[in-house]
Every structure is written in structure tokens, then in C-alpha cells.
């Protein structure tokens, strides 16, 4: 990805790749989008792909692959045990991170299961910049608690802080003093902090956290799933690293931590996951669990084709031309939205554009899931599917009331190198229309609510007749346009 100047002086994102394989997408008329949304229980996870025009639900497992990744898939060495493919992947990971041991898993949350089972004991705490849904679920399942110690700025929607994912070092020291280091299972840093808007962590902050953890003897775990975006931001926002190549930045980061894990659905544009660890005894404990939950040690639930694609994808993650596309598109989208007055998380992060549903739908109480309602309304207005990242994605408290999220966001994810600039502009236009008609959007309530990770397959209904009114207004305003 690059940015070029047009004659007018405007700076415009320019794709540094060409599309050599395409997939057809459908844009259904608004009436059909309305019925599809109702059918899906107002949950964008339950839409069928054929009903979706632009799938901005996630980047997970849906990033575009390069020709070199595709080519590598053809030379995979298929075998249950000891395949050459595994050793190629192991060597790519060792070159990239310089850590001692590698354990393969079928995806990121599988790493979290193994890490939590190995390192979390009942009553212990895990300190982290911010939780991710599946991370928290695995820690609590093993009897642990989480404490979020991101800087205060991290959970403010608008800010100029370039590293909103940073940990607050005073909070870190305070929690260690209060809990006692023996009660802390580990400290976890999440790269490109997902739930607060894909916000990065600076190297300076990682170094300081690592120093504190090492002085106290507390293991430091790094969730590198969103490393690609974080690398781009270290290089472009942290002055000291502007001339350091992404490979050197990565190795320096890895040298600061004890355990590193990743979802290869994100990092490396493939599918699968992995844990890297230096300590022999932690490695041996984790290794016992791999054949139990994942598969044999030389595939861990991944297919050999995925492993070959991952080995190549990891190397491509160290290329700024490749990893810059998502952050540059996120920024382009956010700039379009800001120009229309739409509230978004700033500065723009990685992963996707994050719309502030609390401000967008300030007439909808949090208990009626404003971010869920906005995600449903956006699908009706555009066929683009985003993801609710707010109260719906939380679990209920023991007394049955909702845990109100600190942010109500609709995430419009940008899988790497999948969309074009006109698709970005289309989505921004439809969001602009929704913004002007925002008072038409109403709340949602559950009709079917799973106990665990309810946002994945819970079903809701609209409170009132707002979805029909929204679709009617769309038809009035756009005439015969899709």
C-alpha cells in the first residue's frame, strides 16, 4: 500500500497489488436485506454470506493470500507426524521471533486454553492492557480473574495518543503491590488491542512492562495476533524506530516476553495458531496438552497447506508494503466518517474502523444494545456487515444484569488486501445516510441468549417497528438504487 498526492493536493491511498482471483459478491435490495436481518435475529454473525455485500465482520481467516502463499500450499508435505511442512514453519517462526520452542494449535483461542490451563490457578489474577473475549473466557474458566490496566486514554473514544493500547505502569505496580506477585499468574500484553479499536502498544511501553515483570519474576505473555498492525504503528509513530526494519522490531519485542502466542487467522494471513515459549518447564507442561486438544505436535490441528501458507505469510508480515494496507484504509475510512461528523475512535487504529455507537445512537439505552442496533441498521442500509463490540459482547453479572461495556463500538474490519477504495467510500456514504437518519434506529432485546459468548449465536428482536421504518426511508431517499 502506498499513499500518493493527486493534482488537487489530496493524498489518496493507492493499492500496491493487483487482483488476480476474484469472488463475486451480491448486493441485495434493501427489502431483502431487511428480511435477512430479521431472519438472523438482528445478529450479524447469523447472516449468511450470500446475503452480505461487504463482509467487514472480521479479518479473521479471511485475509487475501499472496501468490507466494498459494504456491507454497501446493508443496505441502502431508503426514501425521514429522512433516517437512512443520519444520519449514518452525524455522520461519524461529527466524521471525528468535524464541526457543514452538507449539502448533488450531487457532488463537486454543493457545489461550493451553496457556490458561498451564499458568492460571484458581484465585489468581492476570493483568492485561485489555481483555479479548476468548482470552477472558479461558482465564475465568480456569478460576482466574482479569484486571485491565490500559492507560486511561485507551478507553476514551477520541484522543491524539498514538499508543492507546499502552499499559499504565503505575496501575501495573499498584496491582502487583495489592495482589502480591505470587497471586499473579502472568501479565499479558495484547498487540493492536482489539476491543478498544485496534490500538497499538509502543516498544517503549513493552520494555518498561518487561522490566517490571522481570524484576518481580512474573511471566510476561504477548498476544501477537494483531502484531502486523502494531508493527506498522511502531515504525510510523515511534520516532526511535522509524529507521528500524520490521524484522528487527519483531525480534526485539519477542526478546522482552516469556510466552508469545498468535491466531494465524490474523497474523500471517492463514489459519491456525501457535505458542512460542523460552522456558523449558512451561514448554513441557504445555506440550502435554497439545495432543489432547489440538492434534499431534507437528500439526496441532492445522492442515499442512495452512502451515505452508503461514510460513510464507509470516515473512510477508515483515514487509511494510503488505502490512500498511489495513491501517491506511482504516485511516481513509475514518477520515471520510469524521468529515461527515460521525463519531469514531481516534486516532484510527489497525484492524478496522470503529464507530462510536454510544454517541451515534445516544437515544438508545445501553441495556438495549446501541452497538448491536447500529450494526443491524448498517447492514439494512448497505449490505455491509460489521461486528458489535459493546455490551452485547459482554456476559451478564451473577445477579443477571448486563455488564455495561466501557465502549459501545461497531467495528468495520478490513481484512488485508480484500476491499477496494470504492467499497470503502460506499460504506462511508451509507453510514453518512444512517447518521442523518439515526433517530430512526431503535433498541434490541434478546429472545434467545446463550450463557457463554452470547454474541456469537444469540438472537434478538427490534424494540418497536424501527427496522421497517428505516428500510422505507432508505427506499424513499435512494429510489431504485440498491
Which of 101, 109, 131, 305 binds ligand F0G (CB under 6 A)? It is 109
Which of 133, 140, 236, 244 is catalytic? The answer is: 133
DSSP-derived 3-state class of residue 162? coil
476 as an active site residue: the answer is no
Comparing CA positions, the residue from 229, 221, 155, 223 lying closest to residue 198 is 229
Q: Among 15, 38, 60, 247, which residue interacts with ligand F0G (rule: CB under 6 A)?
A: 60
Catalytic residue status for 58: no
Angle between helix axes 203-216 and 169-179 (nearest 10 degrees) is 20
Alpha-carbon dihedral of residues 193, 198, 203, 209, nearest 10 degrees?
A: -20
Catalytic residue from among 55, 59, 168, 223: 223
DSSP assignments along 186-217, one per residue: EEEEETTBTTTTSB---HHHHHHHHHHHHHHT
Is 396 annotated in the active site? no
Judged on CB neighbours under 10 Å (0-12, 13-18, 19+), 388 is buried
The catalytically annotated residue of 18, 80, 399, 480 is 80
Q: Does 134 bind ligand F0G (CB under 6 A)?
A: yes
Residue from 190, 238, 308, 336 binding ligand F0G (CB under 6 A)? 190
Closer Cβ to ligand F0G, 107 or 427, answer by number: 107
**At 44, is the secondary structure helix, strand, or coil?**
helix
Of 101, 235, 265, 354, the one binding ligand F0G (CB under 6 A) is: 265
Closest CA to 130 of 174, 207, 187, 56: 187
The reply on whether position 366 binds ligand F0G by CB under 6 A is no
Residues 397-456, interacting with ligand F0G (CB under 6 A): none
Closest residue to ligand F0G, judged by C-beta, is 108
| In contact, 330 and 349? CB cutoff 8 Å | yes
Give the shortest CB-451-to-ligand F0G separation in angstroms: 19
Contacting residue, 13, 41, 104, 108, with ligand F0G by CB under 6 A: 108
Of 92 and 267, the one with the shorter C-beta distance to ligand F0G is: 267
Catalytic, 18? Answer no
- With respect to ligand F0G, which residue has the nearer C-beta, 58 or 175? 58
CB-based contacts of 400, cutoff 8 Å, min separation 6 = none
Nearer to ligand F0G, 30 or 191 (CB): 191
First to last CA, the chain: 30
Whole-number Cα distances in Å, 446 to 143, 372, 392, 402, 411: 28, 11, 10, 12, 21
87 is catalytic: no
- Is position 223 annotated as part of the catalytic site? yes
132 counts as catalytic:
yes
Least Cβ distance, residue 144 to ligand F0G (angstroms): 16
Q: Binding residues for ligand F0G, how many (CB under 6 A)?
A: 15
Residue of 109, 385, 389, 411 marked catalytic: 389
User: What part of residues 217-236 is at the interface with ligand F0G (CB under 6 A)?
Assistant: 223, 225-226
CA Rg, the chain, in Å? 22
Task: Provide the 10 A C-beta neighbour count for residue 374.
Answer: 27
Please, which residues have CB within 8 angstroms of residue 284's CB and are 6 or more apart in sequence? none
Among 42, 132, 163, 329, binds ligand F0G (CB under 6 A): 132
- Chosen residue from 263, 298, 317, 423 binding ligand F0G by CB under 6 A: 263
The verdict on 105 binding ligand F0G (CB under 6 A) reads no
User: Checking phi first, is residue 188 left (phi over 0); if not, alpha (psi -120 to 50) or beta?
Assistant: beta
CB closer to ligand F0G, 192 vs 343: 192
Nearest one of 174, 173, 129 to 151, comparing CA atoms: 129
CA dist., res. 363 & res. 432, Å (int): 18
Considering only 43, 44, 58, 63, the residue that binds ligand F0G (CB under 6 A) is 58
Closest CA to 463 of 441, 433, 437: 441
Shortest spacing between CB 267 and ligand F0G, in angstroms: 9
- Pick between residue 155 and residue 471 the one whose CB is nearest to ligand F0G: 155
Pick between residue 176 and residue 351 the one whose CB is nearest to ligand F0G.
351
Which CB sits closer to ligand F0G, 225 or 325?
225
Cell of 172: 501495573
Count of beta carbons in the 10 Å neighbourhood of residue 445: 13
Active-site amino acid positions: 80, 132-133, 223, 266, 389, 455
Binding site residues, ligand F0G, CB under 6 A = 58, 60, 107-109, 132, 134, 190, 194, 223, 225-226, 263, 265, 273
Amino acid at each position: 500500500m502506498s499513499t500518493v498526492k493527486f493534482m488537487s493536493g489530496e493524498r489518496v491511498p493507492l493499492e500496491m497489488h493487483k487482483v488476480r482471483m476474484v469472488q463475486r459478491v451480491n448486493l441485495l435490495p434493501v427489502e431483502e436485506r431487511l428480511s435477512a436481518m430479521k431472519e438472523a435475529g438482528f445478529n450479524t454473525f447469523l447472516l449468511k454470506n450470500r446475503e452480505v455485500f461487504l463482509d467487514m465482520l472480521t479479518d479473521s481467516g479471511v485475509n487475501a493470500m499472496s501468490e507466494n502463499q498459494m504456491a507454497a500450499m501446493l508443496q505441502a508435505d502431508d503426514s501425521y507426524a514429522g512433516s517437512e511442512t512443520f519444520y519449514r514453519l518452525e524455522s520461519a517462526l524461529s527466524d521471525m521471533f528468535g524464541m526457543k520452542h514452538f507449539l502448533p494449535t488450531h487457532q488463537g483461542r486454543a493457545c489461550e486454553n493451553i496457556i490458561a490451563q498451564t499458568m492460571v490457578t484458581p484465585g489468581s489474577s492476570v493483568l492485561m492492557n485489555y481483555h479479548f473475549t476468548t482470552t477472558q473466557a479461558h482465564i475465568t474458566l480456569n478460576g482466574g480473574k482479569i484486571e485491565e490496566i490500559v492507560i486511561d486514554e485507551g478507553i476514551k473514544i477520541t484522543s491524539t495518543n498514538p499508543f492507546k493500547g499502552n499499559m499504565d505502569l503505575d496501575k501495573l505496580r499498584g496491582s502487583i503491590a495489592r495482589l502480591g506477585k505470587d497471586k499473579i499468574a502472568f501479565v499479558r500484553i495484547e498487540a493492536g488491542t482489539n476491543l478498544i479499536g485496534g490500538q497499538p502498544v509502543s516498544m517503549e511501553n513493552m520494555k518498561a512492562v518487561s522490566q517490571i515483570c522481570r524484576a518481580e519474576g512474573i511471566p510476561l505473555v504477548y498476544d501477537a495476533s494483531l502484531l502486523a498492525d502494531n508493527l506498522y504503528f511502531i515504525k510510523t509513530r515511534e520516532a526511535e524506530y522509524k529507521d528500524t526494519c520490521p524484522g528487527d522490531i519483531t525480534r526485539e519485542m519477542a526478546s522482552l516476553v516469556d510466552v508469545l502466542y498468535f491466531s494465524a487467522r490474523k497474523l500471517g494471513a492463514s489459519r491456525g495458531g501457535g505458542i512460542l515459549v523460552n522456558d523449558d518447564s512451561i514448554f513441557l507442561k504445555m506440550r502435554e496438552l497439545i495432543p489432547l486438544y489440538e492434534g499431534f505436535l507437528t500439526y496441532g490441528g492445522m492442515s499442512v497447506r495452512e502451515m505452508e501458507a503461514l510460513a510464507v505469510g509470516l515473512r510477508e508480515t515483515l514487509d511494510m508494503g503488505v502490512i500498511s494496507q489495513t491501517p491506511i484504509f482504516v485511516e481513509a475510512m475514518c477520515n471520510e466518517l469524521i468529515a461527515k461528523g460521525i463519531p469514531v475512535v481516534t486516532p484510527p487504529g489497525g484492524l478496522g474502523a470503529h464507530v462510536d455507537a454510544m454517541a451515534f445512537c445516544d437515544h438508545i439505552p445501553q441495556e438495549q444494545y446501541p452497538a448491536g442496533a447500529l450494526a443491524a441498521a448498517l447492514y439494512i442500509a448497505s449490505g455491509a456487515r460489521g461486528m458489535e463490540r459493546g455490551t452485547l459482547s459482554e456476559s451478564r453479572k451473577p445477579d443477571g444484569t448486563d455488564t455495561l461495556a466501557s465502549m459501545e463500538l461497531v467495528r468495520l474490519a478490513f481484512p488485508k488486501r480484500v476491499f477496494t477504495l470504492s467499497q470503502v467510500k460506499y460504506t462511508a456514504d451509507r453510514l453518512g445516510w444512517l447518521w442523518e437518519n439515526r433517530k430512526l434506529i431503535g433498541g434490541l432485546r434478546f429472545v434467545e441468549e446463550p450463557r457463554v459468548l452470547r454474541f456469537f449465536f444469540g438472537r434478538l428482536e427490534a424494540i418497536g417497528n424501527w427496522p421497517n421504518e428505516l428500510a422505507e426511508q432508505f427506499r424513499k431517499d435512494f429510489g431504485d438504487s440498491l
